Structure formats: C-alpha cells, structure tokens
C-alpha cells in the first residue's frame, strides 16, 4: 500500500495545494488500490474510472491556470450506492434498480461536485440500506479488511471498508438506524450521523424518511467534520431541511483536541447502554476510554434513559412502516425492473406482484410485510401509534440527560465484527446490533462513532451523542476521544491483506 494513501483527506488536500501531487496522480493511486484490493473486499458496486479522472484533470488544469479552488479540490471520494448521481448506475444494492441511471444529482452529489471532489465510484450496501452486515446486498457481501472472514458492518459496509482499507480517503454513507456508525465501529473508521435535517435527503433513495440522514465516513474526526461542512446546509428540495447554521465544524473539531485539561466537561454514561448484550471486550475498551477522560479532568456522570429499552422495538415498527410506504414506488411502472408474470392473466396487479416477488430480497420483503401490517386498520394504534409514543419518550429521556451533561458516550456496537453467516439467518440477532445507535435516529440528534481501541485484534468504536443542532460539540468531543485512543485503533493491517492476494 502506498504510504500516501494512508494520509487523511486534510493532509492530501494540503499536498494538492502545495503541488506535491496532482489530483490525477492521487486518483490513479486510489484506482490502482481498488483494482488490487477490491476483488477481495467487494466494497465497490461501480467504479467510475473515466469520470473520476476527468474531474481530477479539470481540477489540475484549474490549479495550473491559477483559478481559485475550494479547499479540498482534487481529493477523491466514494458514495454509498443509494445517492443519485446523474448517469451513474445507482442500485441501492438491489436487483430492482440494477442498471438504473438517475437523471439527476442528489443535493449531496451537487455539493461534492461544487467542492470539486472527484467521485471514484459507488459503494456496496445492504439492499435498500436494510441490514447490519452488507450480507443483504443483492450483489454479494463486502468483506472487512481487518479480517476478510468477517462482516464490515452495514448497511454501509462498502463505504466503511473502502475507507478503512485506504482505497479512498473518505466517503459518504447514510444512517437510518446506525448504518454509518456501526460499520465505522467494526472497521476502525469514523462515521457521523448529523442532526436530522442538517444534510439534504434530496436524491437519497428513501428508506425511512423520518430517520434517514447522510453523513461522512472517514479515518479522522477532522476529516469527518470537513466533509460534513461540504455537504450540509439548507436545501429547498427537502422539506425537512434545517435553516443554514453557519458553524465551521472543522474548526470546532480542533478546539479541544490538544486540551490536557478537560475539567468543566460533563460526559454522560447511559445506564441502559452498557450491560446486557454488550460483549466484555467492547466494554473493556469503552471503560478504558472513560477512565482516560476522567484522568484528564472530565466529569463523568451516569444518567438513566429508561425508554431506551423500547427503542429497538419502536424502531422496528416505525422504520418498516415508512419502508412499506417508500418502497411502494418500485412496482415495475414508476420505478424498478419490470418482470412479467409467467402464468395466468397479465394484469397490472400480477405484473407488480411478479416484479416485487423477483426483484426484492428476503429482508426487504420481510420489512415491507411488517410495515404494511403495522399500518393496517385495526392494528395502527397498537403498533405504529405506540411506537410513536416511545419515540417521544426517547426524545424526553435525551432532553433530561442533556440537562445533566454536555454529551453522552456509549459503545457504538455491542460486539466487534462478527463472522459471515453468524446472524444472517436470524433477523432478531441482526437487529440487536442496532441497540446503541437507534436512539439517536429516533430523536434526530447527532451521533458519531470514533475508533477507540481493539478487542481480539478487531476495532471497537465509541459513540458520542450530542443534543440536536450541536454537531460542533459532538465533533469537539469526538476529537478528544480520538486523541485518547490506542495507536492501533484505526490502523487497518492492510499489508497482510495485500500479501494474501
Ligand atoms: N441496521 C439497521 C437496519 O437494518 C440500520 C439501517 C440503516 O441505518 N440504514 O435497519
């Protein structure tokens, strides 16, 4: 692996500005790494060699011509395959959309293009972002570069594996119940879910609209802050978009990083987020982080969020309800690869049934059925209505918690990366991966995962949760946690992987 690819996006941007390297050279290095490693990892569903090199060349030409460029111009990026990019296949990891080329750019893609980041390709994901392992991708799973017999997390395992293995310095993910943060935790990368509404969802293929947020996947906290700075902001195309708040997250991430004295900082531990279900190895790394924070003078307080116990149940009603509605458009008429019925009469209904039967995978079908049931007359109040009440209680618990502390921290994922097949046939076991990440989606607050250390030689992430609109605070504290992590926490042993090829 070329050492230069191990540099952060910030460092690479500096090298580009200093003309130590050109964007075409850097993009070629990423493309070479993809060529070498991705046959084994399968992090990418589509690599846009030509498009990326063209964008890189245009940046280089402008730099030579003395045109003023945005600060990160020329640093390549990858995007999860559920963000529409004009003319580039965007499949959501589903046979339903195989071969579909969007006629428009998602707002985040427009912003990435304005920032002049060459888009290297689209990354693998669980079908329509449903899963925690990428095993539900219709095109085959992604492997974890730390151990190729293990999952890279999900649903955004492709972006996380691509960044962890240095194939690309940074990437975009989407997070409905943890799909940026859990892959971050199990691949030793940084993943952030911004405050709901901070980043436009226009052009993100919807999973559960009241929970979905796009966010950065990087190797450092500062890079994540910088990438969120690039993609956030008000967008009239998204009715849930928040008004522009001119906060420089990158600056914020640097504020406390080097601080030796953290006194005055109140860090909350949630009683309900550390016991049952969490592996001892994960808890050991988490507790070591807490101790280091305490040694630096941070005040550690324990808070109770009793309704968190019901958040998984509430999520697995609200999310499928929204999924069943959002995925209704894939009917072979409006969207989706049509399949004609092979027997019986051909009607709109039999065609839709054949299309959805053939082109959706098992997990998607399971959730559509669950969501349709939860919303059906007679059951609505009992299921969906109760889940919405729990959602309010989760928000209230968090409000009460944030009255006692500045941020909350917890393990991001209850275990380290598990082996392929270990949970893919047991939906409940798979859903349990989301216990720590779901509350932030239900409440719409920002949360991110930072590599903190290793357990059994595999990465463990610590999650930082901040109040809504306090993304800057989240980055500030995440940078502290990053500085306290063990040296090996984010150093993916990619050389071993290369040797084995
Ligand atoms: N693992 C969660 C799920 O399967 C998270 C999905 C996501 O955030 N997109 O629903």
Q: Is 438 helix (H, G, I), strand (E, B) or coil?
A: helix
CA contacts within 13 A on the Cβ side of 288: 18
Q: How far apart are CA 40 and CA 33, in angstroms?
A: 12
Do residues 210 and 322 lie in contact, with contact meaning Cβ atoms separated by under 8 Å? yes
pLDDT number for residue 385: 94
Could you tell me the pTM of the whole model?
Answer: 0.97
Q: Report the separation in Å between the CA atom of 220 and the middle of ligand 1, taken as the mean of its atom positions.
A: 23
Q: Is residue 416 domain-resident?
A: yes
Measured on CA atoms in the order 35, 37, 42, 45, is the torsion positive or negative? Answer: negative
Q: Which strands, in side-by-side order, build the sheet including 213-218? A: 44-47, 119-123, 77-80, 170-175, 213-218, 190-193, 447-455, 458-465, 407-411, 266-270, 299-303
Task: With CA atoms as reference, report the closest residue to 305 among 387, 402, 444, 384.
Answer: 402
What is the CATH number for 212? 3.90.1300.10
> Does residue 199 have its Cβ closer than 6 Å to ligand 1?
no
pLDDT number for residue 260: 76
> Of 201, 319, 371, which is best to mutate to test ligand 1, by the most ligand atoms within 8 angstroms of its C-beta?
319
Q: Is residue 319 domain-resident?
A: no
Question: What's the distance, Cα to Cα, between the start and end of the chain in Å?
Answer: 13
Element (H, E) at 408: strand 407-411
Q: Is residue 212 domain-resident?
A: yes
Task: Identify the bridge partners of residue 85 per DSSP, sorted by sequence position.
Answer: 88
Q: Is residue 91 domain-resident?
A: yes
Atom of ligand 1 lying closest to residue 176 CA: 8
Tell me if residue 483 is catalytic. no
Q: Is 88 helix (H, G, I), strand (E, B) or coil?
A: strand
pLDDT number for residue 2: 86
pLDDT number for residue 276: 83
| Domain count within the chain | 1
287: its two tokens: 């507790």
- Domain that includes residue 63, residue range: 3-263+406-500
Q: Is residue 19 domain-resident?
A: yes
pLDDT number for residue 424: 87
Catalytic residue (choose from 7, 8, 23, 80): 80
pLDDT number for residue 332: 96
pLDDT along the chain (501 residues), means of 10: 93 98 98 97 98 98 98 98 98 98 98 98 98 97 98 98 98 98 98 98 98 98 98 97 88 83 94 90 97 96 97 97 98 96 94 98 97 92 94 98 98 97 89 95 98 97 98 96 93 90 84
Radius of gyration of the chain (CA): 22
Catalytic residue (choose from 94, 174, 179, 410): 179
Q: Is residue 13 domain-resident?
A: yes
Q: Is residue 233 domain-resident?
A: yes
> Does residue 413 have its Cβ closer than 6 Å to ligand 1?
no
Q: Is residue 342 domain-resident?
A: no
């Amino acid at each position: 692996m070329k050492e230069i690819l191990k540099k952060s996006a910030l460092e690479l941007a500096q090298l580009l500005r200093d003309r130590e390297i050109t964007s075409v050279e850097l993009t070629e290095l990423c493309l070479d790494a993809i060529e070498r490693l991705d046959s084994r990892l399968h992090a990418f569903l589509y690599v846009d060699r030509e498009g990326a090199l063209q964008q890189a060349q245009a940046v280089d030409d402008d730099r030579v011509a003395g045109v003023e460029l945005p600060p990160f111009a020329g640093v390549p990026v990858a995007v999860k395959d559920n963000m529409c990019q004009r003319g580039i296949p965007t499949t959501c990891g589903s046979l339903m959309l195989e071969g579909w080329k969007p006629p428009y750019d998602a707002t985040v893609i427009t912003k990435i293009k304005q920032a002049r980041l060459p888009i290297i390709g689209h990354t693998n994901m669980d079908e329509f972002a449903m899963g925690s392992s990428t095993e539900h991708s219709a095109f085959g799973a992604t492997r974890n570069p730390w151990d190729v017999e293990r999952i890279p997390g999900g649903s955004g395992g492709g972006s996380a594996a691509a960044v962890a293995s240095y194939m690309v310095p940074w990437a975009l993910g989407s997070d409905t119940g943890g799909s940026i943060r859990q892959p971050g935790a199990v691949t030793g990368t940084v993943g952030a879910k911004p405050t709901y509404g901070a980043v436009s969802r226009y052009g993100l293929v919807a999973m559960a609209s009241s929970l979905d947020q796009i966010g950065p996947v990087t190797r450092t906290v500062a890079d994540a802050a910088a990438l969120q700075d690039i993609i956030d902001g008000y967008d009239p195309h998204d009715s849930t978009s928040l008004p522009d708040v001119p906060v420089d997250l990158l600056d914020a991430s640097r504020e406390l990083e080097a601080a030796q004295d953290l006194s005055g900082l109140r860090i909350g531990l949630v009683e309900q987020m550390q016991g049952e279900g969490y592996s001892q190895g994960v808890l050991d790394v988490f507790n070591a982080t807490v101790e280091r924070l305490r040694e630096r003078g941070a005040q550690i307080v324990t808070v109770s969020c009793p309704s968190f116990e019901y958040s998984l149940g509430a999520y697995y009603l609200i999310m499928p309800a929204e999924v069943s509605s959002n995925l209704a458009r894939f009917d072979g008429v409006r969207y989706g690869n049509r399949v004609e019925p092979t027997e019986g009469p051909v009607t709109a209904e039999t065609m839709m049934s054949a299309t959805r039967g053939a082109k959706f995978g098992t997990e998607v079908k399971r959730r559509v059925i669950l969501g349709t049931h939860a919303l059906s007359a007679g059951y609505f109040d009992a299921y969906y209505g109760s889940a919405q009440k729990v959602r309010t209680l989760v928000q209230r618990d968090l409000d009460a918690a944030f009255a006692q502390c500045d941020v909350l921290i917890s393990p991001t994922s209850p275990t380290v990366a598990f082996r392929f097949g270990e949970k893919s046939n047991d939906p409940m076991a798979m859903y349990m991966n989301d216990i720590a990440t779901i509350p932030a989606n239900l409440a719409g607050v920002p949360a991110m995962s930072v590599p903190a250390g290793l357990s059994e030689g595999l990465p463990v992430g610590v999650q930082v949760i901040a109040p809504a609109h306090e993304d800057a605070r989240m980055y500030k504290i995440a940078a502290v946690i990053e500085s306290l992590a063990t040296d090996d926490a984010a150093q993916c042993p990619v050389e071993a992987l290369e040797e084995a090829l």
